Amino acid sequence: MTSVLERLRGERPVFSVEFFPPRDAADEAALWHAIRELEQLDPAYMSITYGAGGSSRDGTIRSIARVATETTLVPMAHLTAVNHSVAELRNVIGWYAAVGVRNILALRGDPLGDPYGEWVPHPDGLSYAEELVTLVRSLGDFCVGVSAFPYGHPRSPDLATDTAHLVRKFDAGADFGIAQLFFEAEDFLRLRDRVAAAGCAAPLIPGIMPLTTPRTLAKTIELSGVHAPRRLLDRLEPLAGDAKAFRAEGLDAVTELCERLLAEGVPALHFYTFNRSKATRELVGRLGLVPARA
Ligand code: FAD
């Protein structure tokens, strides 16, 4: 099974796509429609997020198994340490391996209920993503990704500490990082500079949200943990009542961001799809991103 790292080694930048597990049959149909549409563009890899509840977690495992066995896509499964003992984590990792998933995004995750509440590890579990990286590495020949935060993780006291903790994840064996959402190319580039200055050469992939609706803008603000720049709000807020105009302007803004990142030599762009394909396909076409096998 191909590793994400191998897919990042081409001469041209590539793209990847992120989905979440389906909640019901209608969701599942929409997810698979999007997966099949995007499969034709040969993304470098596709990933499925890992939720907190049992049925959502089952959905991740079921969907990633189907991707591994029924599509040409390179699957990457997210995994979090939330509410899992080490024995359970070993089981899930073994399951991923059994269905042919060799790429894992190793995450600590957020506390159940209140993401900003106190983090209490499972009594027989792990406290930090770094430990999950070590565990995954110890269980086989996996390619391991980790999260990175352009503005620092909300729980980090400062950027220097945040960078040190990120670098520890690479020292523990992580192969690449995917950056949380951000607004300006410079925000990502400063993260890349901090990691490089710490002597770490692991590839970092920017996370990109297609800004098609006011909801996607709100989600980007929430996940990035910062206010959107006034410049972007002035472009998009006046269009909030006009769905078509908002989408057009939002995709223009994202195209400009991606063009700048590509000019700065990022190896890939990681698109949040919300289990739809249209906006990502449009962006991939506009940016001239090529199939990973090209
Ligand atoms: P960690 O790297 O463990 O960091 C958590 C905090 O602890 C940080 O403040 C860090 O600086 C600090 N820290 C790290 N190591 C140490 C140490 N040794 N000593 C002291 N402090 C330390 N969540 C989900 O639930 N499911 C998903 O599928 C999912 N996918 C994601 C994908 C991406 C690309 C990103 C960016 C995030 C994703 N998340 C997901 C969210 C993520 O789980 C949360 O942001 C979570 O709060 C942190 O996880 P982490 O892996 O970054 O944790």
For ligand 1, whether the C-beta of 165 sits within 6 Å is yes
Q: Which segments of the chain does DSSP mark as H helices, in order?
A: 4-7, 25-39, 54-70, 86-98, 129-138, 159-171, 185-197, 214-224, 230-236, 243-263, 278-287
Q: Does residue 223 lie within any of the structural domains?
A: yes
For ligand 1, whether the C-beta of 171 sits within 6 Å is no
For ligand 1, whether the C-beta of 107 sits within 6 Å is yes
For ligand 1, whether the C-beta of 206 sits within 6 Å is no
Q: Does residue 79 lie within any of the structural domains?
A: yes
Amino acid at residue number 98:
A
Number of domains in the chain: 1
Q: Give the position of tokens 């994400």.
A: 4
Q: Does residue 16 lie within any of the structural domains?
A: yes
For ligand 1, whether the C-beta of 128 sits within 6 Å is yes
For ligand 1, whether the C-beta of 16 sits within 6 Å is no
Phi-psi region of 180 (alpha: psi -120 to 50; beta: other; left: phi over 0): beta
Q: Does residue 259 lie within any of the structural domains?
A: yes
The residue nearest atom 25 of ligand 1, judged by CA position, is: 109
Reported pTM: 0.98
Q: How far does the centroid of ligand 1 lie from the alpha carbon of residue 225, in Å?
A: 13
Q: Does residue 279 lie within any of the structural domains?
A: yes
Element (H, E) at 208: strand 204-208
CATH number for the domain that contains residue 42: 3.20.20.220
Phi-psi region of 42 (alpha: psi -120 to 50; beta: other; left: phi over 0): left
Phi first, then psi: give them for residue 287, nearest 5 degrees. Answer: -85, -5
Q: How far does the centroid of ligand 1 lie from the alpha carbon of residue 164, in Å?
A: 13
Nearest to 284 by CA among 259, 247, 265, 250: 259
Phi first, then psi: give them for residue 30, nearest 5 degrees. Answer: -65, -40
Digitized pLDDT (tens) for each residue of the chain, 294 residues in all: 789 999 999 889 999 999 999 999 999 999 999 999 999 999 999 999 999 888 899 999 999 999 999 999 999 999 999 999 999 999 999 999 999 999 999 999 999 888 888 999 999 999 999 999 999 999 999 999 999 999 999 999 999 999 999 999 999 999 999 999 999 999 999 999 999 999 999 999 999 999 999 999 999 999 999 999 999 999 999 999 999 999 999 999 999 999 999 999 999 999 999 999 999 999 999 999 988 875
Instruction: Give the count of beta carbons closer than 10 Å to the beta carbon of residue 163.
Output: 21
Q: How far does the centroid of ligand 1 lie from the alpha carbon of residue 202, in Å?
A: 17
Q: Does residue 292 lie within any of the structural domains?
A: no
Catalytic residues: 18
Q: How far is CA 278 from CA 36, 52, 125, 255, 281, in A?
A: 12, 28, 39, 14, 5
Token readout for 266 is 């990022």
Q: Does residue 166 lie within any of the structural domains?
A: yes
> What burial class does residue 40 get, using C-beta atoms within 10 Å of its C-beta: 0-12 exposed, 13-18 middle, 19+ buried?
exposed
Q: How far does the centroid of ligand 1 lie from the alpha carbon of residue 37, in Å?
A: 30
Q: How far is CA 36 from CA 33, 67, 261, 276, in A?
A: 5, 10, 27, 10
Q: 176 pairs with which residues across the strands?
A: 145
Q: Domain range spanning residue 194?
A: 4-287
Q: Give the position of tokens 């970092």.
A: 204
The residue nearest atom 29 of ligand 1, judged by CA position, is: 49
pLDDT at position 294? 57
Q: Does residue 293 lie within any of the structural domains?
A: no
